[in-house]
Amino acid sequence: MTDPTPSAAPISDRGFLARKGEGSTILSWITSTDHKRIGLLYLYAILSFFLVGIVLGLLLRLELIAPGRTIVDAQTYNALFTLHGVIMIFLFIIPGIPAAFGNLMLPLLLGARDVAFPRLNLFSWYLYMTGALLALTALFSGGGPPDTGWTFYVPFSTRTTTNVSLAVTAVFILGFSSILTGLNFVTTVHRLRARGMGWGRLPLFVWSLYATAWVQILATPILAITLILILAERLLGTGLFDPAQGGDPIMFQHLFWIYSHPAVYIMVLPGMGVVSEIIPVFSRKPVFGYWAIALSSIAIAAAGSLVWGHHMFTSGMSDMAILVFSFLTFVVAIPSAIKVFNWVATLYKGSIALDPPMLFALTFVLLFSIGGLSGLILGAAATDIHVHDTHFVVGHFHYTMFGGTGFAFFAALHYWLPKIYGRMYNKRVATWAWGIMFVGFNLLYFFMQVVGIRGMPRRYYDYLPEFAVLNQIATVGSWILAFGVFLMFGNLLRGVLSGEPVGANPWGGATLEWTVSSPPPEENFSVEPVVTHGPYDFREAGLL
């Protein structure tokens, strides 16, 4: 790549954080079209919602610490898990890595000055905030917080008197934010690569963002249509999902999952991209199987778009459809496993440094593998019928989404925040926080899966006395996990505000973002970089 010598920027140069002439007023931030500022705007918002989601999750676990009513009644519990789901899915996990870190890093990784459509980018953030605020308004207005679960299944969602219409409108607007970001990223990757950066030299995080962006463009409109149909059903009584009027409630489930299953790949693919960046850097080795990892992202996006029916094995489908969907679900495991094997092969004979980003990335591999394999238990029609709608599903989902995407998000925070702010957090505390989270996470979700496989259904505020011990272990795990998360955020915040200056390239990465000062300057590169080697070619970059 370009001159790899670290420029050891003095921290007094605050780069894009304090733009010349504009300073750093709130107005200068919320009107900025700088991708890094927009990325940080997303990051702040997303982290705030994440904290709200955590608190709701803790309340859910607290209710389940004993059978019967503990802290909330059934209706409140229904509202709590709906809000926890809606906030975590639509406000944290889906935009988490692509919108925050995609915006922060994509142009830097490509050697570009900004994304292809900077104003559209800012508009997407406004759409996101509008949707998010509407979603939060839905909690406090109308007929009470929605109680349908984040899936808004009909016929309940068309009949409940709670504030579903507003929540659905919010998600609809959030969907547009997602589509526009996808459009922006696809165009950026095609148009704005630096000279010398062919498709074979794209950093793997870019490949994963690219695959994700296509899923966002193709699948999100279907969610939008589905949500409009709910509104039509609620407000106009069109009867599309009402059997008494010739409609079909199962059609809702098809439409919903045609988006929402690909959406779990929108959630996890960027996380895989982050891990693909981190593992080679901390193994000091070129990534093993570059093309296999890059194309498996595309394969996951493609195959993942054809498996939605596995959410509906018990809803009423022909046996043939069940077989086909079950088979396709197993097919998705192949590119996922290709990634895992290539990561492990990259580690092999590497010079592994267990810095915090690497610890989080390796945890991703472990927890995502557990989550992925338990997903196959659900993807197989016969076993799915046994564990359908139990806590096993909840545990599986959290292993993939929290253990997977969540930990990848934490890895990205530890990997790139020093770049963005030019300051390092306390690595010792970060390692402790990681360890505490790892223990808490597994206590919480492993025992959730166990209690599920023993028959505890999900979405009930109550359970049989025989499940009490396992639920109590999980609840204690939730406290440990939350303590670790807050320790991690405290440490990161302290690092951002008053950590040691890090210079341009603290981790010895060979991708383009490490060639500019930390924090990066406005418009990223003073001269357009020319790429002369691959993204993980540390020897060629003079880093080995």
Residues in contact with another protein by CB under 8 A are 68, 74, 113, 186-187, 190-193, 214, 217-218, 221-222, 225, 240, 243-248, 251, 255, 316, 318, 455, 457, 460, 462-465, 528
Which region holds residue 316: left if phi is over 0, alpha if psi is between -120 and 50, else beta?
A: left
Min separation Cβ 190 and another protein, Å: 4
Select 92 or 463, whichever has its Cβ closest to another protein: 463
Min separation Cβ 217 and another protein, Å: 6
Select 182 or 422, whichever has its Cβ closest to another protein: 182
Give 332's contacts (C-beta < 8 A, 6+ positions apart): 300, 303, 304, 307
The candidate with the shortest Cα–Cα distance to 9, out of 470, 504, 477, is: 504
Select 138 or 240, whichever has its Cβ closest to another protein: 240
Report whether 375 contacts 449 (CB < 8 A): no
CA angle (518, 522, 527) in 5-degree steps: 90
**Residue 370: helix, strand or coil by DSSP?**
helix
Select 29 or 460, whichever has its Cβ closest to another protein: 460
Select 191 or 539, whichever has its Cβ closest to another protein: 191
Q: Copy the structure tokens of residue 11.
A: 């921290």
Select 341 or 460, whichever has its Cβ closest to another protein: 460
Select 79 or 443, whichever has its Cβ closest to another protein: 79
* DSSP code of residue 390: B
Select 253 or 478, whichever has its Cβ closest to another protein: 253
Q: Copy the structure tokens of residue 14.
A: 């605050």
Looking up tokens 């309340």 gives: 59
Min separation Cβ 225 and another protein, Å: 7
Select 283 or 449, whichever has its Cβ closest to another protein: 449
Min separation Cβ 503 and another protein, Å: 28
Min separation Cβ 524 and another protein, Å: 12
Min separation Cβ 35 and another protein, Å: 16
Min separation Cβ 258 and another protein, Å: 9
The C-alpha atoms of residue 341 and residue 335 are separated, in whole angstroms, by 10
The C-alpha atoms of residue 360 and residue 369 are separated, in whole angstroms, by 14
Select 259 or 282, whichever has its Cβ closest to another protein: 259
Min separation Cβ 95 and another protein, Å: 21
Looking up tokens 């020319």 gives: 530
Min separation Cβ 243 and another protein, Å: 4
CA 529, 530, 534, 536 dihedral sign is negative
Min separation Cβ 509 and another protein, Å: 23
Looking up tokens 């409140």 gives: 76
Q: Copy the structure tokens of residue 482.
A: 């939350």
Longest dimension (CA), the chain: 71
Min separation Cβ 311 and another protein, Å: 17
Which region holds residue 153: left if phi is over 0, alpha if psi is between -120 and 50, else beta?
A: beta
Min separation Cβ 94 and another protein, Å: 19
Select 233 or 355, whichever has its Cβ closest to another protein: 233
CA 530 from centre of chain: 32
Give 162's contacts (C-beta < 8 A, 6+ positions apart): 79, 142, 143, 144, 145, 146, 147, 148
Give 104's contacts (C-beta < 8 A, 6+ positions apart): 35, 36, 39, 40, 43, 416, 420
CA 438 from centre of chain: 18
Query: 520-535 burial string, b = 16+ CB within 10 Å, else e?
Result: bbbebbeeebebebbb
Select 5 or 245, whichever has its Cβ closest to another protein: 245
The C-alpha atoms of residue 124 and residue 184 are separated, in whole angstroms, by 10
